Structure 1
Amino acid sequence: MSDATSDTTAYRPPAPPGPLRDFWNSFRENRGAVIGLFVFALFLFIAIFAPLLAPYSPSEQFREHLLQPPAWSEGGNWRFPLGTDPLGRDMLSRLLHGARYSFFIGVVVVGVASFFGVTIGVIAGFAPRWLDTLIMRVMDIVLSFPSLLMALVLVAILGPSLINAMIAIAIVLQPHFVRLTRAAVMSERTKDYVTAARVAGAGRLRIMFRTVLPNCLAPIIVQAALSFSTAVLDAAALGFLGMGAQPPTPEWGTMLAEAREFILRAWWVVTFPGLCILITVLAINLMGDGLRDALDPKLKRS
């Protein structure tokens, strides 16, 4: 009898997985998302340690090596593994430093757009009908314009620069956060836990930002990840059109703009910045799809 009792008391059922482990188990089912996460982490590492990884300064010119082809091409030089640009600057160094600008743009733009967009969306979800209608009609007007065209107009008004380009892209992306947050708040505000908080005497602001908003974060996180790639792409497009970062800033879109006239003579000055933009945006989009699958309970596999 004592042996049976000791066996019973010694057995403990395995503890359920924590929220982070449950998230990772769902996220890793999407192999594309895992690949995107590792590529994103690699580019983030490059962006952080670019000054240590780059062999030269991004603005240092080697006049005797103008348009030097990549090292493995005919006439290449292993001093410049990815070749040089029309001014003799090392392409590898400029690409590594360009990752810093692209990630800086993505973080700032998504941070500004999500902060104001989420705040306005929560207010619209709890606002009187007339104010809610006014806010949403303004957001619809902004969304009715093509995003890049709207950003171009705003940069033309503010003046071409990297900071003004980030402000313009943040304004363009903000309506997406407003609409998404409002829809999530409208579905949450009628639930029992909100009624219980109201009955318990919680103030309006506490209910809005402490009770309801944390339960709306899953779709907002997914939108933030997808907006990050949009910010990088739009910033590169504005830089290519001469309305974003200005030379000699080693931003990928600006590098493409500087190399347009040499596309037939020196393929590498256009190909490598374009590939960096393509790989970064693709990795973030794949990672965003994995976040959506992992955070949306309707999409989780049973």
Structure 2
Amino acid sequence: MSTPSAGRARRRAAAGRAGAASLLLAAVALLPWLSGTDPALTVLRARSADQDPTPGQLAAVRAELGLDEGPLPHLVRWLTGLPRGDAGVSWVSGEPVLPQVANAFAVSLTLMLGALAVTVAVAGLVCVRTLHLGSRRRLRLRRAGVAAAVLAALPKFLLAALLATVCGVWLGWFPAAGWAGPQAMVLPALALGVPSGAMIGGLLDQSLPAAFHEPWARNAYACGFPPGRTARHALRRTLAGVLPQLLPTVVALVGGAVAVEKIFNIPGLGRLALDAATAQDLPPLQTATLALVLLGIAAGLLVQGLRRALLGPALRDGALPTLHLPPLPGRRSVRVLAGCCAVVLLGLVVAGLLRDPLHVDTAARLLPPSPAHPLGTDSLGRDLLARLGHGALRTAGVALAVTAASAALGLLLGMASRASAGLTEVMSTLPAVLAGLLTTAVTGPSVWGAALAVCLVGWTPYAAQTAALLEQERAAGHTLASTSLGAGRLHLLRRHLLPAVLPAVLRNAVLRLPTTVLVLASLGFLGLGEQPPTPEWGRLLSENQPYVELAPWTVLGPACALVLLSVLSVAGTGTPLLRRTNGRWRRGAERQEGGS
């Protein structure tokens, strides 16, 4: 039965969704005026590719589109036309917008379902060994962490290019481009689903050991229950905390797959939004953004329903304790592997810093690795080792700053989940590409503009995770006991809530550090991030991606560097800070259990 407080929470969440969606649509409507360029000039160039239009032509376009009226009348006309099924006409093509967006949305939704199936399959493969061993009480450590990190570190656009070249062109198994028939969906679905599934599976694999070390699992093992039954309950136990991470993943599969859609020439919603934003074609851009917002809200409501179905009555009667990571022993081989990765990565960076990253030698274009050029040269004859080394500090520094800022903002907003639930759902629907276009319109293409764009959308996974963990912790028995004994908010925050949330959020942030590098790389790939000739790992991947088939070594260096960084990220989940935080919570929980 719904309580008055639950009804108020739902109304606040609905108001938050409406407010955030309105602000987002208003920001999109201001895009042509924020860019600092004449919208009429951009539209005219998109129509006819005329680089030097006359003042009369520009005046005619302004009069035709009503650009002198400002953004508010356009937004009002577009909103009032939506109830009648009229989203306006394209400023560039003159065709109705709604059929274009509907067709693109159908394509992206089909691709999303295929990629989601791959995501679930890969996530299951990542954590199946932990499920098997944990249900038999033979769990020793998180065995799939390194493999999951390596898969999650694969750049989606680079994986798409490799799949298109190998499976599409060389082997001819599937179409390398276009959207005709179910076979055309296989390669892009793999390119999108494999890294996403590795990320979700890695989070599950991090949480499952805690579930298998809870009292109910030990009792089930002692009573002789079948291992499969214990594994199912442990998976259900951990899915509730990981499920909110599916929301940004699902939306990213629709609106954030612009680079993959470009490589496979797929007429999807993300590509339509990017083309419309580039041409400042406002009606299709606003309609595509609205479609993404509605999709995100629907996905958020579905995720909430699934979480409540998984948790059952424990969410109401306070019987659900928060998962905490037990003191699992680490393997020597994992530490040795992490040390080797650190040494190799440091050696590459130091060796690259001793070389000139900007020296151009046109006679040495696309040379394979040799003693003179250990990683080869790029299309301009520049040494790739030098560019990799000089780009390491910039790449790692920007990604670390973005990850820290996103995690801190997500933690703060997640702790105020009643007020920010709608904002989290709506902002998670905003693709990083569209956020990059909005920030680039103000700041211009730069690495810090791309970093700001990632921060605008990167806090949502941490906020969703924080809200989910806090919801479980507030329903825990020891928290309710402390509240009944008169504990204040500050005491609950310091002794219960923060120690239960911080370790998981920190682990999530460390694991997402390579993903932040990849998002920045995707923005650079689309021309919204770091600009040439500055060396940066994402830029190296983007500018050398056209030469994957001819000279694969041009992307091998930065791709391997990302893999090494991912392995180090997995090893970083065992840092002294995390161990101390986990230990402090465990000791507090044991004292509470002993006192009760």
TM-score class, shorter: 0.5 to 0.7
Identity value in percent: 29
Query: Equivalent of 2:459, from 174, 181, 195?
Result: 174
**TM-score scaled by length of structure 2:** 0.37
Give the whole-Å Cα distance in 1 for the aligned partners of 2:338 and 2:521. 17
- Structure 1 length as normaliser, TM-score? 0.68
Whole-Å separation in 1 of the counterparts to 2:434 and 2:565: 20
Alignment of 1:188 with 2:473, yes or no, is: yes
**Match status 1:141 vs 2:426:** yes
CA separation of 1:258 and 1:147: change in aligned 2, threshold 3 A: closer
2:393 counterpart of 1:80: no
**Distance in 2 separating the partners of 1:182 and 1:158:** 32
1:122–1:42 CA distance, 2 compared to 1 (3 A) = farther
| Greater RCO (CA < 8 Å, at least 6 residues apart) | 1
Q: Aligned-pair distance for 1:266?
A: 4.4
The residue aligned with 2:539 is: 254
Deviates more, 1:207-216 or 1:268-277: 268-277
Contact 2:360 2:382 in 1 (8 A): yes
Q: Name structure 1 gaps, 5 residues minimum.
A: 1-23, 72-76, 125-131, 296-302
RMSD of aligned alpha carbons = 3.8
Report if aligned partners of 1:160, 1:244 keep a CA contact under 8 Å in 2.
yes
Summarize deviations over 1:6-56 as a string: whole Å, max 9, x none: xxxxxxxxxxxxxxxxxx942358674688876665555566566533263
Q: 1:27 aligns with which of 142, 145, 160?
A: 142
Number of corresponding residues:
256
**d(CA) in 1 for partners of 2:445, 2:340:** 30
Residue 54 of structure 1 is aligned with which of 352, 355, 370?
352
Distance 1:285 1:207 in 2: 31
In structure 1, what is the Cα distance between the partners aligned to 2:517 and 2:572? 14
Distance 1:39 1:240, change over 3 A: farther
In structure 2, give the amino acid aligned to 1:174: W
Instruction: Report deviation, 1:111.
Output: 0.8
Q: Which residue does 1:99 correspond to in 2?
A: 392
**Alpha-carbon offset, residue 210 of structure 1:** 4.2
Q: Quick one: structure 1 residues 99 and 42, their matched pair in 2 at CA, closer, same or farther if it must change by over 3 Å?
A: farther
- Cα distance in structure 2, aligned partners of 1:38 and 1:153: 44
Structure 2 residues without counterparts, runs of 5 or longer? 1-138, 149-330, 583-596
Match of 1:116 among 409, 429, 432: 409
What secondary structure is seen at the aligned counterpart in 1 of 2:513? Answer: helix
CA distance in 2, matches of 1:38, 1:96: 23
Amino acid at match of 1:98: G
**Alpha-carbon separation, structure 1, partners of 2:533 and 2:146:** 38
Contact 2:443/2:449 (<8 A) preserved: yes
Retained in 1: the 8 A contact 2:363–2:381?
A: yes
SS in 1 for 2:416: helix
Q: 2:37: which partner in 1?
A: none
Change (3 A) 1:260 1:26: closer
Tell me by how many angstroms 1:201 deviates: 5.4
1:151/1:172 contact within 8 Å kept: no
Q: Distance in 1 between matches of 2:142 and 2:541?
A: 35
